[in-house]
């Protein structure tokens, strides 16, 4: 290169380097400023949450910060019993479209109703704020001396099976005005009966007259105490309402005590002339819940059910009972009795192949296994292991670009969402996200999720990419979040990290502030009492229940708890997963009843739908995470070891499975590839403990 050319090149290089340095400096200054604002906001928010105006002195530099409106709202919310209407209206006028404004309006209306300040309530009320405030608005109307109009004021509420206590004065006023006629009372009683709300029926019965009172009370008894109801029903008059109550009681009792319900059914047929529909309903419940108890004649009961009353649930239980007996001809017959669409479920594709194999129909079995193995799911991977083929996993990455990301970050609601996440107000962050993205197109959603993932907000991908093409974004839907220490803590606890990831993913879907109705908390859903005991046993620090919302703390204790539970079940990850969901005592009962079954059959015959699906997802998620960690996965069969047999620890040294993106065999005689499973529904038998809902395996 000539000297003068080299000189020009050097000057250009210096210019470029200088530009880069300016950009880097600007970014660093912006980051420092934002970090300073976040710290200031946290201090101001803590002060605002104590009420009063002391927060204002701490927020002088925050007026342009996206979360500034949250400060005054926090102060007003704290002082809700002290503030007046002008203060609230001033905030609503300043921030009319913000979520904190909607919350403030709702909470202040509740306060005005408590004060019985009906004039201000009517001035600020807006429809669509829930049944309680609707009833408060109607009470304001009554207090003003205006009559109620049933069709205009009450018809929508009347169709609800239950109503909040705020509606009690309004319903009493409606009764006093003669609006709650006997036909209207019975119409709502029937709604409540269909919904299983005995308390509502008992409350409505007080407004009936004569024999109607006892008839309604029988319905309430049937729902609230079915055992007492079926005993009393032997002396009930043979009326339509008595038969309705007896049917409800028998169906409800069958769920809890199928044998007792059976005996009562034989007795009551002599005194009550049930309709064909009622008879079918009772026979269905008896057949189904004898099946969930695996009684000796349950398969015959299910086979003999009239076709008109069979459902997908009763048909699948016919398969499960046959699987428990390892009656492979009955398994195949039960699957073939399903409608074509139900047969396409990946579980029945797998067990069809399994039955064919056990019956020695090898060629048909291999073809059926190939169809099942085309699924990316627990059952698909079980099928692939039978064929010794790679696992199906069609992985894609969303297309994102800098311009699209800037457009997302220009949306005010998304600015608030990301900042709320950054300062730890996670519930508020999710609400802002949901509102801002409610009508977003797929491309905008992909851009937003990509930003969230980069910032460590992992649950956004899980809840956004839960259907269609989004299901193929596996690296986003199954984050590693290495900063939270899953691998290190699992290894210290002596358990497979991919299994720990699978439990975490299923329990909380990476929602770090998740809290169940039973008060299980954080990523791995630990009860504070359990976490305290685990900490004590392992010599780990314990800072109270709220520390479980810290991912690092939660994972450290959660992995130790998994290891502790695993010791009770020979280290079996699938069996321990079942105990993690349904409880060790319940799993112990199932082992006593069916502990000689192979693992795939044992899982399929667990009575709780939630636990069956929980184990299947955790095992499937474990394979996905094993692939994410190592680029391949230990076979599902090495995780599903026989009961009583300690598993080998999946690692990079044992047998591994690759992944492929394959379609189903074109010439397969089995049904077409199934659609993704539907969301979890209520357990088909008695429910297990509930966990945070997540997306489905695909």
Query: 3-state DSSP call for residue 173?
Result: helix
CB-based contact 605:611 (threshold 8 Å): no
Q: Which is the catalytic residue, given 72, 419, 507, 556?
A: 507
Beta bridge partners of 214: none
Distance between CA atoms of 646 and 209, rounded to whole angstroms? 67
Distance between CA atoms of 513 and 487, rounded to whole angstroms? 21
Tokens read off for 490:
């699992």
What value, to the nearest 5°, has the Cα angle with vertex 491 and ends 490 and 495? 60
Distance between CA atoms of 572 and 243, rounded to whole angstroms? 49
Which of 604, 656, 679 minimizes the C-alpha distance to 384?
656
Beta-carbon-side half-sphere exposure of residue 663 (alpha carbons within 13 Å): 5
CB-based contact 525:516 (threshold 8 Å): yes
The secondary structure element, H or E, covering residue 660 is strand 659-660
Which of 227, 228, 225, 223 minimizes the C-alpha distance to 194?
223
Concatenated DSSP letters for 563-596?
Answer: HHHHGGGTT-HHHHHHHHHH-HHHHHHHHHHHTT
Beta bridge partners of 660: 392
**Is 507 one of the annotated active-site residues of the chain?**
yes
What value, to the nearest 5°, has the Cα angle with vertex 695 and ends 428 and 579? 105
CB-based contact 619:574 (threshold 8 Å): yes
Give Dmax over CA atoms of the chain in angstroms. 114
Distance between CA atoms of 417 and 118, rounded to whole angstroms? 35
Distance between CA atoms of 60 and 50, rounded to whole angstroms? 18
Distance between CA atoms of 607 and 584, rounded to whole angstroms? 14
Concatenated DSSP letters for 531-556?
Answer: HHHHHHHHT-----GGGGGSHHHHHH
Q: Which residues are catalytic?
A: 507
């Amino acid at each position: 290169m000539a000297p003068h050319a080299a000189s020009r090149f050097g000057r250009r290089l210096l210019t470029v380097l200088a530009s880069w340095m300016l950009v880097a400096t600007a970014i660093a200054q912006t980051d420092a400023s934002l970090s300073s604002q976040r710290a200031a906001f946290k201090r101001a928010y803590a002060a605002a949450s104590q009420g009063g105006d002391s927060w204002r002195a701490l927020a002088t530099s925050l007026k342009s910060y996206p979360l500034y409106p949250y400060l005054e709202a926090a102060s007003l919310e704290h002082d809700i019993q002290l503030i007046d209407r002008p203060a609230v209206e001033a905030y609503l006028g300043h921030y009319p479209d913000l979520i904190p404004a909607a919350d403030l309006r709702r909470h202040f209306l509740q306060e005005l109703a408590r004060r019985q300040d009906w004039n201000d309530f009517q001035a600020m009320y807006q429809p669509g704020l829930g049944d309680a405030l609707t009833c408060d608005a109607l009470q304001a109307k009554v207090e003003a001396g205006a009559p109620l109009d049933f069709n205009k004021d009450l018809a929508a509420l009347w169709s609800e099976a239950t109503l909040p206590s705020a509606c009690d004065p309004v319903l009493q006023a409606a009764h006093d005005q003669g609006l709650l006629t006997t036909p209207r009372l019975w119409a709502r009683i029937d709604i409540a009966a269909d919904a299983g709300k005995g308390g509502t029926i008992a409350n409505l019965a007080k407004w009936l007259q004569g024999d109607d009172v006892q008839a309604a009370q029988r319905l309430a008894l049937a729902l609230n105490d079915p055992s007492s109801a079926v005993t009393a029903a032997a002396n009930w008059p043979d009326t339509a309402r008595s038969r309705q109550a007896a049917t409800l009681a028998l169906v409800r009792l069958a769920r809890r005590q199928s044998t007792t319900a059976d005996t009562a059914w034989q007795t009551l047929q002599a005194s009550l002339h049930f309709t064909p529909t009622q008879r079918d309903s009772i026979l269905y419940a008896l057949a189904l819940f004898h099946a969930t108890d695996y009684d000796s004649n349950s398969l015959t009961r299910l086979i003999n059910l009239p076709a008109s009353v069979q459902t997908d649930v009763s048909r699948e239980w016919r398969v499960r009972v046959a699987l428990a007996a390892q009656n492979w001809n009955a398994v195949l017959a039960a699957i073939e009795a399903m409608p074509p669409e139900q047969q396409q479920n990946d579980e029945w594709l797998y067990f069809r192949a399994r039955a064919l194999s056990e019956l020695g129909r090898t060629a048909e079995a291999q073809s059926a296994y190939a169809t099942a193995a085309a699924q990316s799911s627990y059952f698909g991977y079980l099928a692939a292991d039978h064929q010794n083929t790679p696992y199906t996993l069609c992985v894609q990455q969303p297309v994102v670009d800098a311009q699209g990301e800037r457009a997302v970050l220009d949306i005010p609601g998304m600015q608030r969402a990301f900042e709320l996440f950054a300062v730890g107000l996670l519930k508020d962050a999710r609400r802002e996200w949901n509102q801002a993205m409610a009508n977003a197109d797929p491309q905008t959603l992909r851009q937003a999720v990509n930003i969230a993932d980069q910032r460590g907000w992992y649950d956004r991908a899980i809840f956004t990419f839960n259907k269609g093409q989004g299901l193929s974004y596996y690296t986003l839907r199954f984050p590693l979040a290495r900063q939270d220490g899953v691998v290190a803590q699992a290894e210290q606890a002596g358990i497979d990290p991919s299994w720990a990831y699978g439990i975490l993913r299923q329990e909380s879907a990476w929602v770090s502030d998740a809290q169940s109705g039973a008060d299980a908390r954080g990523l791995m859903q630990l009860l504070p009492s359990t976490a305290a005991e685990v900490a004590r046993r392992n010599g780990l620090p314990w800072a109270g229940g709220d520390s479980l919302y810290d991912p690092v703390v939660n994972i450290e204790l959660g992995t130790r708890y998994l290891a502790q539970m695993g010791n009770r079940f020979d280290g079996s990850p699938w069996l321990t997963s079942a105990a993690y969901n349904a409880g060790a005592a319940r799993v112990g009962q199932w082992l006593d009843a069916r502990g000689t079954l192979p693992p795939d059959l044992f899982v399929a015959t667990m009575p709780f739908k939630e636990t069956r699906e929980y184990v299947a997802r955790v095992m499937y998620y474990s394979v996905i995470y094993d692939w994410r960690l190592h680029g391949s996965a230990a076979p599902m069969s090495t995780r599903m070891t026989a009961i009583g047999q300690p598993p080998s620890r999946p690692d990079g040294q044992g047998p591994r499975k690759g992944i492929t993106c394959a379609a189903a065999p074109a010439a397969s005689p089995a049904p077409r590839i199934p659609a993704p499973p539907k969301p979890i529904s209520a357990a088909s038998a008695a429910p297990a403990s509930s966990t945070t809902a997540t997306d489905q395996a695909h």
